[in-house]
A = this chain, B = another copy of it.
């Protein structure tokens, strides 16, 4: 559907303006069980608080700002006026977990002014939803505040207890950490070795800083998620944890000069989001972060489509082949050409093998990494001119491969690894996308592995935040979908730039290829953390679960094969990879059938059950089709998942194909054992899905023909 068809049902129901003369604190604003309070104390310090169902979730917490030009916007405020309004609209995402999203909130806007010269103005806008609160700062145009440098944002989130927390450390350059489940008071970011290419002092200077989305659970059983929405032209927010007082403080990622951001009035921060519920599934159901993003800026969106793809990729990840064409770029042949290492994956014959498999199995797209020159020395060094994005290696016949793919009805997906040399990519963006257009590439996967150039910038700093958006905008101009690896974690920008379909920005399946891997609980945590901001290109679908890694024959995935299938439902992404090798899929064609069948874009989503760190079961209805797909996963414990199919249509019989762990399946001892059974179901059916340790189940439900 096109953005032009989005239905706007925007109702501004109330609008109270409390006049300046009153200067009184506004009354609390509530929506269902969520209540937001705002108060200015006698010193003119602004604070807010959030409660859920009468229970305080965020106690009175300070708001404020430090500006490098010498202004401290943290006290001495008066309220000029307050505005209360509300909205109730419904909009349709281009791609989504549901076809239609309701945006229903009450807004409180507090106009503040400092009481002494230069009488600075700052507004704080709160939006109260049924599932939480978003707020942001706004800086109006004013004579004494035009262009300014952010020294610090002083936002606090004062929590009410030593909550159970799912966290990763506050690395300025990487999100690819394992989640630790601990009490707030036990957080220690430095227990991890650095994953980013930098020194701890530069990239993770605060031992008690964590990334968002930060997922928590209170002793009373409340689920609490803190993140941000619409991160544009601003640095990413990390949270500094005061372990004694359970207080979190915004901590913005700095640049080479230690500055946290450069703003020009009128300006605003991203929305700070607090999602809260007594039910874990409500956290996953929340569309608050999307609702706090701006509507699509792209007019014609007809070219933005969900897409399954394979990749000449996993074979490099597991060390079977290489991205680089040569092992010694300094040693040329007698006639001055590179000498191939015989292990280069992106060669024409091998690529054609993948094209053949994808074509035969209805997988629409094919990604090829390592096709272009530069991989011999691409990361870990500040080599600015590492890639040119247009020159193929000598054994990759760009012309022929594209001809062959077209003939076989397979769409090639471009790969632009930048090695984090982002200024170089900026300079070559147009050239890179012109190449994609010439051959009709519908999508590009970009990558930002390594230390950022410009030197001193960070993946999560304002400069790079703008770079990601710039790349997405150039991609949109060229009608190319973009899937970013190693960018900042998402904040719902795929609403505004619907071609910014997915990103990695977290610890993906690939870590099982080249490291000790991720434990079985990992995929039950990710939806509550990394995926709160948007789709993740997690690259599921590994079928060969042991003995795949060239470096370590004992390495294995911490998952069963059935769980790999379930991830296609639980890990939302409209660009979704079938990540394993053709030969591994050929071993289990019946299981592969689920990957062929599963949808990527949805009319509806039902989170059946969820507990971060433990389990997750989701059912989704295919966009514009009557088909449903279910994914159920568990952690290291086996369990039985009960799914009432009461969401199915009345008076309709369905064929259900159940891809389940075999009776003796176990991620450790017997991971590839699965069983497939077919049964007829209707809305009265209750499915009992048995999940092995580290296991899962996938179900397709299609009306009987």
Contacts and interface: CB of A to CB of B under 8 A. Distances in A.
A244 interface: no
A330 B143 CA distance: 9
B454 A383 contact: no
A259 interface: yes
Interface stretch (A287-295, A423-431, A437-445, A653-661): A423-431
Interface in A426-471: 426-427, 429-430, 454-457, 463, 466, 470
A429 B426 CA distance: 11
A114 to B, nearest CB: 19
Query: Which of A255, A330, A454 has the largest count of B CB atoms less than 10 A from its CB?
Result: A454
A457 to B, nearest CB: 7
Interface string A611-623: 0000000000000
Interface string A109-143: 00000000000000000000000000000000101
A257 interface: yes
A637 to B, nearest CB: 47
Given A382-B259, A456-B456, A147 B426 contact: no
A256 B457 CA distance: 9
Contacts of A463: 384, 454-455
Interface in A615-667: none
A255 B264 CA distance: 26
Given A256-B256, A423-B426, A426-B423, A147 B262 contact: no
Interface in A465-508: 466, 470
A31 interface: no
A377 interface: yes
B455 A383 contact: no
At the interface, is chain A mostly helix, strand, loop or mixed?
Answer: loop
Nearest to A427: B426
A149 interface: yes
Interface in A245-282: 255-257, 259, 262, 264-265
A381 interface: yes
Contacts of A141: 330
A484 B25 CA distance: 57
B423 A256 contact: no
Nearest to A381: B147
A146 interface: yes
Contact of A382 (B149, B383, B430): B149
Contacts of A146: 330, 377
A67 B262 CA distance: 34
Contacts of A262: 381-384
A147 B383 contact: yes
Contacts of A454: 256, 423, 454-457, 463
Contacts of A255: 455-456
Nearest to A266: B330
A425 to B, nearest CB: 10
Interface string A324-341: 000000100000000000
A394 B618 CA distance: 57
A165 to B, nearest CB: 33
Interface string A578-604: 000000000000000000000000000
A381 B264 CA distance: 10
Given A141-B330, A146-B377, A330-B146, A257 B456 contact: yes
Contacts of A257: 256, 382, 455-456
A387 to B, nearest CB: 14
A369 to B, nearest CB: 21
A141 B456 CA distance: 28
Nearest to A265: B330
Nearest to A331: B141
Contacts of A265: 330
Contact of A455 (B256, B264, B384): B256
Contacts of A427: 426-427, 429, 470
Contacts of A455: 255-257, 259, 454, 456-457, 463
Given A147-B381, A256-B257, A456-B456, 19 more contacts: A141-B330, A143-B330, A147-B383, A149-B382, A255-B456, A256-B456, A259-B382, A262-B382, A384-B463, A384-B466, A423-B426, A427-B427, A427-B429, A430-B430, A454-B454, A454-B455, A454-B456, A455-B457, A455-B463
Interface of A: 141, 143, 146-147, 149, 255-257, 259, 262, 264-265, 330, 377, 381-384, 423, 426-427, 429-430, 454-457, 463, 466, 470
Q: Enumerate the 10 nearest inter-chain pairs by beta-carbon distance, A residue then B residue, closest first.
A: A256-B456, A454-B454, A256-B256, A456-B456, A147-B381, A141-B330, A256-B455, A262-B382, A257-B455, A255-B455
27 contacts: A141-B330, A146-B330, A146-B377, A147-B377, A147-B381, A147-B383, A255-B455, A255-B456, A256-B455, A256-B456, A257-B382, A257-B455, A257-B456, A259-B382, A262-B381, A262-B384, A265-B330, A423-B423, A423-B454, A426-B426, A427-B427, A454-B454, A454-B455, A455-B456, A455-B457, A455-B463, A456-B456
